[in-house]
Amino acid sequence: MAPSQAIYTPSLDKLIKSLKGQTLEASIESLIFLLKRRQVKGDECAQATAHILRQVVAKSKWHDVDQLLSRIQSAGSRLARAAPHEPVIGNIVRRVLGLIRDEASEDRNADDLGSEAASDIQSLAPSAPPPHPPRQATLPIRPPPSVSTGLQVSKSMFNLLSVADPGDSPMTGASTPLSQAQPASVHTLRSEVMDGIEEIMDEIGQADDQIASFADIQIHPGDFVLAYQPSRTVEKFLIKAASKRRFTVIIAGLMSPTHGASEAPYAALRKKLNGAGVNTINLASNGLMAYIPRVNKVIFGAKAVYQNGGLLVDSGSCIAAQAAHEYLKPVIVLSPVYKFCPEDPSDEVSRGDLGNPSSYVSYANGPEVDALDVENTVTDYIPPELVDVYLTNLGPQTRHHLASILADHYKTEDIGFSMQLGEP
């Protein structure tokens, strides 16, 4: 049963700190509870998932690579099922699975090289010289040196090739079991995988700053930039550009402040941009078309980038992208590589995810809207033909280069990662 948690949304630092003091199963259940309530979302899902998987490697019992892969798949699938609207969870699970396979393969290759070197030394060691035959009275007929040398080399090569039978040590590629009689190898692999997960967590934490470093290249002085419901990545990008450029930001997709909110949406962003000398314009969704002809570029932050180049974004973004496409305005999506999904979008992604409609219809008006079904779509899908540039922490990319990025970060055997593996 999920643990009792407070209603407030914890910060990422507090969340990870609270998970460190719990058992492995309690940590997984705590994160599942928060994911189901959507109290952890976006970039925080990636960091929290990586942290949990690192705990799985460190605390769970496993004796070979197959068991470790099974532990990661089981825990990862439970997290992914708790938040199917967050594809980044599955991405991090796949990255960790690929990391385990790479580290196990390196250890196996190192062992193979060591055994081959030892075999070579044994086969090339000089043996005792054969006894000389008695000297005959007649002149001895000595064979040509090249023939004898060739026979000796052939015999040595035969010894090298016959040291080990390939069938004695099968290697499947997908599975690299370690002998239970070598606990040092398990300990080494555990440390290497944990260090690799730490590198993934560092990548997640540094991605926004790396994307922001390209801001002065993408934004020019005097530009009118439309940012539709800017994410944290977009906010850092705009603030970085404001330190070197003077331009105008149109913040679109604004909604009225939620009940109990102390300030209007993106008030902190507007304050920072204005302090840097950048003008800002607040724009509701219904005023979008009036400004599209004036803007120079449209910027989105993506929740996920699918292998076909399509985007999972905030609701309403597709209308802005279509308008920009009609007016030949470049559409730039800001997305770190860890949000790239090695799969095509499902029908549910195309239809959009539904959220809480209370921001539009209050529960206090229940008797008045009793006969209405109110749906609040919180996500949208932008097809790849509407996107011009994918700006990642590796630099700007085009749609045709996405396949090579996915191939560099995911293993083929992990692309079909199933959420059904973690059924309790």
Per-residue confidence in pLDDT tens, the chain, 424 aa:
444 444 455 666 777 777 777 889 999 999 999 999 888 888 899 999 999 999 999 999 998 899 999 999 999 999 999 998 899 999 999 999 999 999 988 766 555 555 554 455 455 555 545 555 544 444 444 444 444 444 444 444 444 444 444 444 444 444 444 444 355 688 899 999 999 999 999 999 999 999 999 999 999 999 999 999 999 999 999 999 999 999 999 999 876 555 445 567 788 999 999 999 999 999 876 778 889 999 999 999 999 999 999 999 988 899 999 999 999 999 999 999 999 999 988 877 767 677 777 766 776 766 766 777 777 777 889 999 999 999 999 999 999 999 999 999 999 988 877 654 444 4
What whole-number distance in Å separates Cα of residue 398 and Cα of residue 242? Answer: 25
Output the pTM of the full model. 0.77
DSSP strand pairing (389-392 vs 304-305): unpaired
Q: Where in the chain is the domain with CATH 1.20.120.420?
A: 12-103+177-207
CB 311 within 8 A of CB 381: yes
CATH number of 213-413: 3.40.50.10470
Nearest alpha-carbon partner for 42 in 334, 346, 398, 384: 334
Task: Residue count of the chain, please give it.
Answer: 424
Q: Where in the chain is the domain with CATH 3.40.50.10470?
A: 213-413
CATH 1.20.120.420 for domain 12-103+177-207: yes
Q: Name 418's Cβ contacts closer than 8 Å, sequence gap at least 6.
A: 77
Give buried/exposed letters for 326-362 (b at 16+ CB in 10 A, else e): eeebebbbbbbbbbbbbbebeeebeebbeeebeeeee
Helices (H), 331-379: 347-351
